[in-house]
Amino acid sequence: MKIKESYKKNWALYLWAMPDITIYQIVSNVIYFVLIFAFEALAMFLIRSTGHMAISSGDYTFLFKTWQGPLLIFISLAILFFYVATDINIQIAYAGKLLKGQKISIIELLKESLLSIKNLFTPDGILIIIYIALIMPFVGLGVTISLTSSLYIPSFIKSVIDANPLYTGLYFLLFAVFFLIGLVNIFTLHGIIIDKLPSNKADDQSRALFRKNWRDFIKQVVLFMISIVVINVFLFLFFMFVPLLVAAIIQMDKQYNRFLFCFISILLGTIMLIFNSFVESFFLIRMTQLYYRYKGEEERFTYRRGKARAAFLVSLILVSISGSMIISYIIDTNFDDLFTNEVNVKIIAHRGGGTEAIENTVKGVEKAIELGADGTEIDIRRTIDGHYIINHDNNFSRLCSDSRKPERMTLAEIKQLEIHDPNFPNEVGEVATIEEMLDAVKGRIKLFIELKGSSADRRMVDDMVKMIKERDMIDDCVLISLKYDLIDYAENNYPEIETAYLAFVSFGDTSKLNCDYLGLEEEASSSSTIMNVHFQNKKFMVWTPNKPESQRHFLLSKVDYIITDNVSQAKQMIEELRNRSDYELLTDSIISLF
């Protein structure tokens, strides 16, 4: 019974706090916009002053050779401090005053949170900032700053971890260590913000409070998370099924039915967005309640009915309804102009034929052609005697049970190896040469040749261009690499050859990099980046969306190519997307809004 009463009390508290949280979010977002605009302008000035247009995963070492690099790192660290102060500290300060029944002023809270930064200018404090900004997004415990909340482990790194039991074990061990660190220090910022403690003493206090109350703490967190999940599931079910149910049972003309479907879908999606925008603030209020409870301090918050707060909730509902109606009307009246079943994204088979043939073999390329792929990607390395063979890894351990590297072997030695792909236990493959690959694809499919490994240098570029020209295959081939200097060299010296630069993270004017295609890892392929690349008359590639939901997302996007291991799945999905009904078109488009 007490749990039920506490549950009702907490959610009443959250609802009461929503207007204040909204004001904070508006003020902070304005501050963030100005700050990030200024930071990006300064960062771009510093990057351009080095003679570069962007920093990316394949072109960053120049930073360590210039004075601009350390300055950029210092500015970035300062930004992280500011974000923690205005994104988390201010919310903790607000929760502390709210629960103590004190007068609340957003301006005063902002001043207080900024002054709290001085307590973080210590070795412990810097570690706290780094943990919150760069580690907590991966751990998923507590809250993160909006600037880095979308950090991720790139898919190609995650696939390597998942494929190796040792790496998987180390990954989970590291995750467990960081999770435990975050758990025992969950109240550190509360000590710094509310009680003005130095960072080291706040750490000690947090660990002491956790050790003494860990059972209750875990129970309270679990109950909070369950309630959030239940609400989201409830809203999601409504979001997914109510519009379809309404469309099915109401006997109205098609146009009106479509408007009603849009309205309900957008309204429920908006409600989900609004609710989840408050979850982090609710969590910090709950953590502050527990902080006071474990310290033996009583809450002094008193519930007061206020017309302004009631008006806020009513206004929020009315704005959501009216906004949903306007968007639904625009969609309904311009349906044929806004929506199409056409899918123009082209499919590139990863490593020859993806997972549907022995990788990086002529058979794999033949399979890609058979499946109707628009292109096939292979990885080349140079042997010790100057030949070029196809292999993805640094050595032949995984596929040939031979730990030697291609760069340390002759072509004759490599040709004696047998490929045993675990996906095809009853087949044996042969390591191919680039000549064999070029002859297999000429006039049949576009070949994306990735310059790979320690032997990927300007000589490799020169040799590849020579081979391509000798076979009259300029229109059939694209040189690609994770090393930007090689792509830049190819573009400057062989502009007639198409090039693609691959990166899994970038910052700056990425779209202006010297290449014909820009390829980003799937999590880094944002709509704004794709648009900027197209604005520069370049093509955009995304690698490597293999899961159905990821493929669907990019097939419905504006990318030009996706590099994938699952070609059949992608081709089948394209057919399904081209045969969608009006309601499926609407559902896909509405989901993309959120």
Give me the residue label for tokens 């073999």. 361
Cβ neighbours for 452, distance < 8 A, ≥ 6 positions apart: 379, 380, 381, 391, 392, 481
Q: How many CA atoms lie within 13 A of 391 on its CB side?
A: 34
Percentages helix, strand, coil for the chain, rounded to the nearest 5?
65, 10, 25
Q: What is the pLDDT of residues 467-487, one digit of tens each?
A: 999 999 999 999 999 999 999
Residue 452, pLDDT above cutoff 90: yes
Task: Say whether 542 sits in a helix, a strand or coil.
Answer: strand
Q: Quick count: other Cβ atoms within 10 Å of Cβ 443?
A: 8
Whether residue 257 has pLDDT greater than 50: yes
Percent of the chain past pLDDT 90, that is, above it, reads: 46
Residues 568, 576 contacting (CB under 8 angstroms): no
For residues 73-100, give the mean pLDDT: 86
**Whether residue 168 has a cis bond before it, omega within 30° of 0:** no
Higher pLDDT, 174 or 240: 174
Looking at per-residue pLDDT, the higher value among 120 and 145 belongs to 120
**pLDDT tens per residue, range 175-213:** 899 889 989 999 999 999 999 999 899 999 999 999 999
Q: For position 305, what pLDDT does the model report?
A: 63
> Which segment of 56-60, 236-240, 351-355, 456-460 scores lowest on mean pLDDT?
236-240
Mean pLDDT confidence for 376-402: 95
Q: How far apart are alpha carbons 515 and 539 in whole angstroms?
A: 9
Strands 346-349 and 506-508: unpaired
Separation between Cα atoms, residue 588 and residue 500, nearest integer Å = 30
Q: What is the CATH number that goes with domain 346-593?
A: 3.20.20.190
Residue 267 tokens, joined = 């309204």
As a residue count, the chain comes to 594
Contacts of 67 (CB under 8 A, 6+ apart): none
Handedness of CA 323, 326, 329, 334 (dihedral sign): negative
In tens, the pLDDT along 139-181 reads 766 677 776 766 667 666 777 787 778 888 998 898 899 889 9
* Rounded distance between C-alpha atoms, residue 17 and residue 98, angstroms: 8
Tokens in use for 122? Answer: 């210590």
Q: Average pLDDT, stretch 508-524?
A: 89
Question: DSSP code of 52?
Answer: -
Residues 6+ apart with CB under 8 A from 111: none
| Two structure tokens written together for 98 | 């709210």
Q: What is the pLDDT of residues 272-296, one digit of tens each?
A: 888 888 998 999 999 999 999 999 9
Higher-confidence residue of 366 and 298: namely 366
pLDDT tops 60 at residue 402: yes
Q: How far apart are CA 145 and CA 281, in angstroms?
A: 12
Q: How many CB atoms lie within 10 A of CB 563?
A: 26
Report the alpha-carbon angle 421-424-427, nearest 5.
90
Please check the confidence at residue 31 and state whether its pLDDT lies above 60.
yes
Note the pLDDT of residue 4: 55
Mean pLDDT confidence for 531-543: 94
| 591 φ, ψ (degrees, to nearest 5) | -60, -40
- Output the CA torsion 316→320→321→326 (10° steps): 140
The pLDDT of residue 453 is above 50:
yes
Domain map of the chain by residue range?
2-335, 346-593
Percentage of the chain beyond pLDDT 70 is 92
Q: What is the pLDDT of residue 246?
A: 64
- Measured distance CA(133)–CA(144) in Å, rounded: 6
Dist. CA 93–CA 192, nearest whole Å: 10
Q: Which residue has the higher pLDDT, 61 or 177?
A: 177
Strand partners, 382: 388
The torsion angles phi and psi of 521, rounded to 5 degrees, stand at -60, 150
pLDDT band at 421, cuts 50/70/90? Answer: confident
Strands 54-56 and 506-508: antiparallel
Q: Which of 267-276, 407-416, 542-551 is the least confident region?
A: 267-276
Greater confidence (247 vs 123) lies with: 123
**pLDDT for the residue 253:** 46
Ramachandran angles phi, psi of 121, nearest 5°: -85, 60
The whole-number pLDDT of residue 1 equals: 45
3-state secondary structure 369-384: HHCCCCEEEEEEEECC
Which token pair is 545? 């969306």
Distance separating alpha carbons of residues 554 and 377, to the nearest angstrom = 18
**Single pTM value for the model:** 0.82
pLDDT value at position 255?
A: 54
**Residue 589 vs residue 44, higher pLDDT:** 44
Confidence at residue 252, expressed as pLDDT on a 0 to 100 scale: 44
pLDDT of 303 reads: 65
312 secondary structure, DSSP code: H
Q: Which residue has the tokens 């390597």?
A: 160
What is the chain's Cα-based Rg? 28
Cα gap 558→555, rounded to integer Å: 8
Task: Please provide the average confidence, as pLDDT, over all residues in the chain.
Answer: 87
Q: Is 352 exposed, middle or buried (0-12, 13-18, 19+ CB in 10 A)?
A: buried
Q: Which helix (H) or strand (E) holds 520?
A: strand 517-521
Q: Is the pLDDT of residue 311 over 60?
A: yes
Q: Given CA atoms 382, 387, 392, 393 in this order, what sign does their dihedral have?
A: negative
Single-letter amino acid, residue 258: R
Residue 36 tokens read as: 């990030």
Give the whole-angstrom CA distance, residue 280 versus residue 288.
12
